[in-house]
């Protein structure tokens, strides 16, 4: 530092370049990022809204039809069923992934042997793409070639093929999705748990708090916000995800796993009904915002308590 | 951190639960791995067995050395490379500008940029397809590269801002006294100090693109422009699909990510949690 100062004092001021070149233009520096983001996020969002209000002729805008596409996507008989399927998929996944991720975080926070190994193994599903996860689960659950069916057979139960069974298809999707989703919850909650000073728990123990009380009144309040964040992330990830459903069931059998995101994908890239697809896309985007706001309300509302 | 020992019974239960969870985590992967070493006849044998009777490497040869698969891998690496250059350059510029300079509208512009993190891929993919067709980038690798860059920039700005703020501004100022331009000072002095952030950023870029299906599927069409996940999907939907090579390809596609994770765990978690929102 002193050398720098010395040089600054001793050496004569250097010739500086033209003033324009030396000035920093923060707007200019932000422009490429903003333009790119606008072109890939805002522009298509605007186009989706426009397209969704018109009849479509492949990529060309047809006549203006108002909210007809929305009505067909959301309020037709299939639309209501599909919204319900999405809800079941999301809530089911949360019910499996949240306790699993949270519980494993608590577990990994204990003094276990080979913790780093457990951690590495348990994070693995996070590294696997949804495409590959769906493929591997479909193969694992196969009633003809998978290793699960023989276990049932030992008890004399013939396992139906879950992916073509009306009752088991959705649970199979939920299982696969929760498998890929729990590590994120685990990692986030574990990170939060590790910021809790041990003294806090020790003090409570000395004061006679049971382990449940310590969890309820010390640990949980301190990881609550993190948990809610993972709840939002898992909800959105499940709700917006296409590939697991596309690969495992394709929406079948008889539409019991037909979820909104898959429908947008198929209307767009299979049937090329762009009006319907973009209406669905706008609905999904709106619901993303609604989910986030609702969760944030909950998060902020009780945050002070 | 002081670590108490657990009472024996609790310890047994905890270890037992951990083993069960590991089994759950590994089950599908191990089954795929097992299948990838079986001959076609054994793949369809009943009852299926966990250990291949006569292990073979044929599936791995067929899948991984398939010129098509190699092509998909190279395509994906190309898209990763282009996206890395674009997204990190743009993000560094924006992050630096917003950390070091106060200017009117700074917060608003950042918020506008960050708000796009909330736009899910499925909500824009159909118009993006139309847009790619319009500008003539449909079915080229540039289309996915640009889309990924745009999706990554806001997260990288957020990630890199933290790292830039941790470098004292005085370092850049003294370089300016020595005759650097402000931007030159940033590039020469600060950027080399950012490498942990850049590693985390690069991992995020790689994982997002490597594991993507939606964009690769919708913005490219021909076989020669396929990305890895779309390629695996194509293998799967082909008629007369063979599960042996398919499982080998699927497992092979996990390996680079697992290796990266093993080598760069800390940065990996940092990058992945940073990018957790965009899915």
Return the CATH number at B124: 1.10.3720.10
Residue B100, min C-alpha distance to chain A (Å): 9
Q: Which residue has the tokens 């190309």?
A: B78
Q: Is residue B220 part of a domain?
A: yes
Closest CA to A105 of A204, A167, A191: A191
* pLDDT above 90 as % of chain A: 60
Contact A136 B130 (CB under 8 A): no
Tell whether B38 and B81 lie within a shared domain.
no
Peptide bond just before B47 cis, omega within 30 deg = yes
Which chain A residues have a beta carbon less than 8 Å from that of B210?
129
Tell whether B92 and B130 lie within a shared domain.
yes
Residue A225 pLDDT greater than 90, yes or no: no
Tell whether B143 and B104 lie within a shared domain.
yes
| Facing B254 at nearest CB: one of A47, A128, A277 | A128
In A105-134, the residues whose Cβ lies within 8 Å of chain B are 107-108, 110-113, 118, 120-133
User: For residue range B118-158, what is the model confidence (pLDDT) as tens digits?
Assistant: 899 999 999 999 999 999 999 999 999 999 999 999 999 99
Please compute the mean of the pLDDT values over residues B105-118 and round it to a whole number: 92
Please compute the mean of the pLDDT values over residues A131-142 and round it to a whole number: 95
Q: With an 8 Å Cβ cutoff, is A178 touching chain B?
A: no
Comparing A301-305, B142-146, B192-196, B216-220, which segment has the lowest mean pLDDT?
A301-305
Tell whether B47 and B98 lie within a shared domain.
no
Residue A24 pLDDT greater than 80, yes or no: no
Residue A143 pLDDT greater than 60, yes or no: yes
Tell whether B156 and B52 lie within a shared domain.
no
Contact A24 B183 (CB under 8 A): yes
Distance from C-alpha of B275 to C-alpha of A280, rounded to nearest angstrom: 25
Distance from C-alpha of B268 to C-alpha of B203, rounded to nearest angstrom: 6
Residue in chain B closest to A291 (alpha carbons) equals B118
Comparing A181-185, A251-255, A266-270, B269-273, which segment has the lowest mean pLDDT?
B269-273
Q: What is the mean pLDDT of chain B?
A: 90
Tell whether B124 and B26 lie within a shared domain.
no
Please compute the mean of the pLDDT values over residues A219-235 and round it to a whole number: 90
Q: Is residue B1 part of a domain?
A: no
Which chain B residues have a beta carbon less than 8 Å from that of A269?
126, 129, 217-218
**How many contacts does A have with B, using Cβ atoms within 8 A?**
278
Our count of domains for chain B comes to: 2
Interior/surface letters B77-110, b for 16+ CB within 10 angstroms, e for the rest? bbbbebbbebbbebbbbbbbbbbbeeeeebeebb
Question: What ipTM score was computed for the predicted complex, to two decimals?
Answer: 0.91
Locate the domains of chain A by residue range: 76-303
User: For residue range B212-240, what is the model confidence (pLDDT) as tens digits?
Assistant: 999 999 999 999 999 999 999 998 887 67
Residue in chain A closest to B229 (alpha carbons) equals A131
Please compute the mean of the pLDDT values over residues B49-66 and round it to a whole number: 90
DSSP B116: G
* pTM beyond 0.95: no
Please compute the mean of the pLDDT values over residues A243-251 and round it to a whole number: 94
| Facing B32 at nearest CB: one of A104, A136, A268 | A136
Tell whether B160 and B182 lie within a shared domain.
yes
Contact B124 A33 (CB under 8 A): no
Q: Cβ distance B223 to B141 under 8 Å? A: no
Q: Cβ distance B210 to B257 under 8 Å? A: yes
User: For residue range A150-188, what is the model confidence (pLDDT) as tens digits?
Assistant: 888 889 888 889 999 999 999 999 999 999 999 999 999
Question: A76-303 in CATH: which number?
Answer: 1.10.3720.10
pLDDT score recorded for residue A18: 42
Residues spanned by the domain of B52: 8-56
DSSP A73: I
Which chain A residues have a beta carbon less than 8 Å from that of B119?
41, 45, 285, 288
Distance from C-alpha of A25 to C-alpha of B182, rounded to nearest angstrom: 11
């Amino acid at each position: 530092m002193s050398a720098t100062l010395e040089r600054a004092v001793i050496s004569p001021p250097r010739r500086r370049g033209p003033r324009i070149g030396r000035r920093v233009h923060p707007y200019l520096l932000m422009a490429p990022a903003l333009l790119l983001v606008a072109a890939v996020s805002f522009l298509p969002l605007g186009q989706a809204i426009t397209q969704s209000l018109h009849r479509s002729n492949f990529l060309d805008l047809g006549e203006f039809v108002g909210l007809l596409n929305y009505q067909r996507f959301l309020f037709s008989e299939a639309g209501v069923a599909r919204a319900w399927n999405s809800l079941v998929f999301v809530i089911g996944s949360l019910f499996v992934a949240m306790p699993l991720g949270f519980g494993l975080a608590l577990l990994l926070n204990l003094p276990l042997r080979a913790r780093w190994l457990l951690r590495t193994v348990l994070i693995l599903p996070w590294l696997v793409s949804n495409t590959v996860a769906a493929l591997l689960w479909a193969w694992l659950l196969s009633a003809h070639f998978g290793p699960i069916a023989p276990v049932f057979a030992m008890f004399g139960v013939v396992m139906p093929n879950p992916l073509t069974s009306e009752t088991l298809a959705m649970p199979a999707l939920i299982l696969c999705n929760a498998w890929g989703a729990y590590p994120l919850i685990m990692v986030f909650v574990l990170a939060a748990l590790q910021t809790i000073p041990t003294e806090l728990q020790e003090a409570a123990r000395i004061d006679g708090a049971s382990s449940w009380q310590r969890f309820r009144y010390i640990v949980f309040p301190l990881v609550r916000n993190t948990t809610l964040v993972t709840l939002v992330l898992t909800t959105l990830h499940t709700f917006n995800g296409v590939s697991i459903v596309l690969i495992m069931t394709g929406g079948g059998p008889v539409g019991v796993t037909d979820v909104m995101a898959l429908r947008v994908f198929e209307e767009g890239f299979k049937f090329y009904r762009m009006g319907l697809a973009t209406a669905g896309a706008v609905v999904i985007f709106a619901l993303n915002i609604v989910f986030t706001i609702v969760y944030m309300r909950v998060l902020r509302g009780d945050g002070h308590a | 951190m002081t670590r108490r020992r657990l009472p024996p019974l609790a310890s047994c239960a905890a270890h037992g639960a951990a083993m069960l969870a590991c089994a759950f985590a590994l089950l599908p992967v191990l089954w795929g791995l097992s299948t990838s070493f079986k001959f076609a006849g054994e793949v369809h044998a009943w009852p299926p067995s966990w250990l291949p009777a006569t292990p073979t490497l044929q599936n791995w040869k067929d899948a991984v050395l398939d010129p098509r698969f190699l092509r998909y891998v190279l395509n994906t690496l190309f898209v990763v490379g282009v996206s890395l250059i674009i997204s990190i350059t743009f993000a560094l510029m924006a992050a630096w500008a917003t950390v070091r300079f106060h200017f009117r509208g700074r917060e608003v512009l950042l918020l506008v940029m960050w708000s796009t993190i909330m736009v899910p891929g499925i909500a824009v993919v159909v118009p993006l397809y139309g847009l790619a067709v319009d500008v003539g980038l449909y079915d080229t690798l540039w289309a996915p590269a640009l889309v990924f860059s745009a999706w990554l920039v806001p997260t990288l700005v957020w990630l890199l801002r933290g790292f830039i703020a941790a470098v004292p501004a005085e370092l850049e100022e003294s370089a300016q006294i020595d005759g650097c331009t402000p931007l030159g000072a940033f590039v020469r002095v600060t950027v080399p100090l950012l490498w942990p952030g850049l590693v985390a950023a690069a991992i995020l870029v790689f994982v997002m693109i490597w594991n993507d299906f939606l964009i690769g599927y919708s913005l490219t069409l021909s076989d020669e422009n396929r990305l890895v996940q779309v390629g695996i999907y194509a293998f799967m939907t082909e008629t007369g699909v063979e599960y042996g090579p398919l499982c080998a390809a699927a497992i092979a596609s996990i390996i680079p990510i697992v290796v990266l994770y093993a080598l760069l765990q800390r940065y990996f978690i940092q990058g992945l949690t940073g990018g957790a929102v965009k899915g």
